[in-house]
């Protein structure tokens, strides 16, 4: 597709002639699609319509027609501010922000000040020693899993090795996560290379597929799609028809049917979702491997925006992505074949145990991080801080799980709330950051939620059951004889 720049645009012309245009909030809100996207940063208005070439990709359009001040700060290196200039079209008429009370202005000012304090405290600087230790520990897990297969003929040892490999993949997920959020290196390129090593080569995931999906999730956590076939919400809660996180989401697939009714499969899945939740988690890695291979080898994208983005600007690291994934499948094949000694069934079992283990351990932590917390749609979406805090849950020690184990298992995401507010803060600084965030939330009356592994899982299952009950109750009310 060819990107045509209009020869005369009255707005860019105004910018070029230094004549400052003023826009009301209402006017900004009218430009809320990828094709017609205005964004606001510190009361300045930018026209980023059709800018699929944006280095962060189509995630930029999650804030079309909205204020991007805080999400911009969450994702970008300081130098990126200069890239904004060419999109500037005028200033926001601050008197038109009638939906904001003086208290809201003070709240926003307060959380921006807190961010500045954290920067001054050095919270965004990583300890290279910490990450060297984490990377070495992880590689030792991998070497041990391989050695157990190579040196032993015991099925019990092979089973233990497959479980260890599942855990290793889960830990690779957290390391790739840290590198790709640029927690480890402020230089983007080094973070990306770390992401390719832990993501593509060791885990089998495409780093660009992951970035698109994960950064989209960070921009709009627990936000529902505007339409069942749209992909403008949080990709991580785009789980229909298998799982619904709100009654509205459960009902959404009716719009796809000509008769406006739910299909038998939707009814079945939503009715039993509290029971199917864990089996679905077990299979999650297979779906991620599939999506990753599709992205890396240009066989399709997971959303319409990701597809257009791939067509317009392609992959950031086309060769490394492909080589990384191909080598990943090669070493996994060698290991799953028991270095040539396993029967087909034995090798398949090894693969399934490790893959399902990884899916379960990874998705369990994601699930605890957000599932069962508040969900929003475009109209009810609150400010950046409240959106991130109310949709996230921290995981604490408890029910026999000690803190060091929870910290290791969750790879930094035990501080999900704090991580969502400041995704570039390295995980080893989150404990300190957490204390300041909690006291800020207390001061401003924002509910900050924590639960241990068991309580959190029960909350998730209870939430699924309550959505399921509300959904099924409608049929009983409408058709009492059934």
C-beta closer to ligand HEM: residue 87 or 361: 87
Other CB atoms within a 10 A radius of the CB of residue 416 amount to: 26
Structure tokens at 268: 């079945």
Structure tokens at 97: 């922000």
C-beta closer to ligand HEM: residue 77 or 454: 77
Other CB atoms within a 10 A radius of the CB of residue 223 amount to: 23
C-beta closer to ligand HEM: residue 361 or 376: 376
- Number of helices (H), then strands (E), belonging to the chain: the values are 20, 7
Least gap, CB of 136 to ligand HEM (angstroms):
25
Least gap, CB of 133 to ligand HEM (angstroms):
24
Least gap, CB of 333 to ligand HEM (angstroms):
30
Least gap, CB of 56 to ligand HEM (angstroms):
2
Are residues 315 and 208 in contact, defined by beta-carbon separation less than 8 angstroms? yes
Closest C-alpha to 218, from 204, 202, 234, 203: 234
Q: What are phi and psi of 313, to 5 degrees?
A: -120, -5
C-beta closer to ligand HEM: residue 181 or 449: 181
C-beta closer to ligand HEM: residue 54 or 100: 54
Least gap, CB of 456 to ligand HEM (angstroms):
27
Least gap, CB of 232 to ligand HEM (angstroms):
12
Q: Which residues bind ligand HEM (CB under 6 A)?
A: 39, 46, 48, 54-56, 59-60, 62-63, 68, 71-72, 75-77, 80, 83-84, 87, 188, 211, 215, 219
Which residue in the shown chain puts its C-beta closest to ligand HEM?
56
C-beta closer to ligand HEM: residue 48 or 293: 48
C-beta closer to ligand HEM: residue 220 or 464: 220
Distance CA 473, CA 296 (A): 44
Residue with token string 């799953």? 336
Least gap, CB of 61 to ligand HEM (angstroms):
8
Q: What is the DSSP letter of 200?
A: I
Q: Could you write out the DSSP letters of every residue in 142-162?
A: HHHHHHHHHH---HHHHHHHH
Distance CA 176, CA 292 (A): 14
C-beta closer to ligand HEM: residue 97 or 193: 193
Residue with token string 């990306």? 192
Distance CA 407, CA 42 (A): 36
Q: What are phi and psi of 64, to 5 degrees?
A: -65, 130
Contacting residues for 356 by C-beta, under 8 A, at least 6 apart: 166, 282, 283, 285
Least gap, CB of 397 to ligand HEM (angstroms):
32
Helix (H, G, I), strand (E, B) or coil at 167: helix
C-beta closer to ligand HEM: residue 38 or 269: 38
C-beta closer to ligand HEM: residue 86 or 399: 86
Sign of CA pseudo-dihedral 101, 105, 108, 114: negative
Least gap, CB of 139 to ligand HEM (angstroms):
24
Other CB atoms within a 10 A radius of the CB of residue 466 amount to: 13
Least gap, CB of 58 to ligand HEM (angstroms):
9
Distance CA 50, CA 256 (A): 27
Cis peptide before 241 (omega within 30 of 0): yes
Closest C-alpha to 394, from 363, 444, 430: 430
C-beta closer to ligand HEM: residue 207 or 266: 207
Least gap, CB of 296 to ligand HEM (angstroms):
16
Are residues 254 and 260 in contact, defined by beta-carbon separation less than 8 angstroms? yes
C-beta closer to ligand HEM: residue 76 or 312: 76
Least gap, CB of 210 to ligand HEM (angstroms):
10
Are residues 316 and 208 in contact, defined by beta-carbon separation less than 8 angstroms? yes
């Amino acid at each position: 597709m060819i990107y045509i720049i209009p020869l005369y645009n009255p707005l860019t012309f105004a910018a070029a002639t230094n004549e400052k245009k003023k826009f009301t909030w209402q006017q900004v809100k009218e430009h809320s699609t990828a094709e017609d996207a205005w964004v606001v940063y510190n009361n300045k208005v930018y026209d980023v319509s059709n800018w699929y070439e944006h280095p962060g990709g189509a995630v930029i359009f999650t804030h079309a027609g909205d204020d991007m001040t805080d999400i911009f700060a969450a994702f970008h290196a300081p130098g990126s501010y200069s890239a904004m200039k060419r999109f500037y079209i005028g200033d926001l008429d601050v008197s038109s922000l009638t939906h904001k009370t003086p208290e809201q202005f003070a709240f926003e000012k307060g959380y921006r000040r807190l961010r500045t304090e954290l920067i001054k405290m050095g919270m965004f600087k990583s300890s290279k020693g910490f990450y060297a230790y984490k990377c070495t520990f992880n590689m030792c897990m991998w070497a041990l899993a391989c050695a157990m297969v190579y040196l032993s003929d015991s099925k019990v040892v092979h089973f233990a090795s497959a479980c260890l490999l599942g855990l290793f993949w889960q830990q690779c997920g957290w390391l790739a996560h840290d590198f790709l959020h640029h927690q480890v290196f402020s230089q983007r390129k080094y973070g990306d290379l770390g992401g390719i090593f832990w993501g593509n080569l060791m885990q089998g995931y495409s780093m660009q597929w992951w970035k698109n999906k994960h950064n989209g999730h960070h921009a709009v956590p627990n936000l529902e799609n505007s339409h069942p076939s749209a992909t403008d919400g949080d990709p991580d809660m785009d789980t229909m028809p298998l799982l619904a996180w709100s009654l509205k989401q459960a009902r959404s697939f009716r719009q796809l049917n000509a008769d406006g009714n739910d299909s038998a499969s939707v009814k079945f899945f939503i009715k039993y979702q509290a029971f199917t939740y864990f089996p679905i988690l077990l299979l999650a890695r297979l779906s991620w491997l599939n999506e990753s291979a599709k992205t890396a080898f240009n066989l399709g994208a997971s959303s319409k925006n990701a597809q257009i983005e791939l067509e317009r600007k392609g992959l950031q690291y086309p060769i490394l992505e492909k080589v990384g994934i191909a080598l990943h499948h090669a070493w996994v094949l060698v290991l799953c074949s028991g270095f040539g000694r396993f029967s087909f069934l034995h090798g398949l079992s090894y693969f399934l145990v490790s893959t399902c283990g990884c899916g379960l351990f990874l998705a369990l932590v994601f699930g605890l991080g957000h599932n069962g917390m508040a969900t929003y749609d475009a109209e009810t979406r609150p400010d950046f801080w409240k959106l991130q805090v109310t949709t996230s849950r921290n995981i604490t020690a408890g029910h026999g799980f000690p803190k060091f184990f929870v910290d290791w298992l969750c790879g930094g995401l035990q501080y999900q709330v704090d991580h969502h507010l400041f995704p570039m803060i390295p995980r080893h600084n989150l404990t300190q950051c957490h204390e300041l965030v909690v006291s800020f939330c207390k001061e401003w009356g924002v509910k900050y939620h924590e639960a241990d592994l068991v309580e959190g899982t029960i909350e998730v299952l209870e939430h699924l059951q309550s959505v399921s009950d509300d959904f099924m109750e409608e049929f009983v009310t409408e058709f009492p004889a059934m």
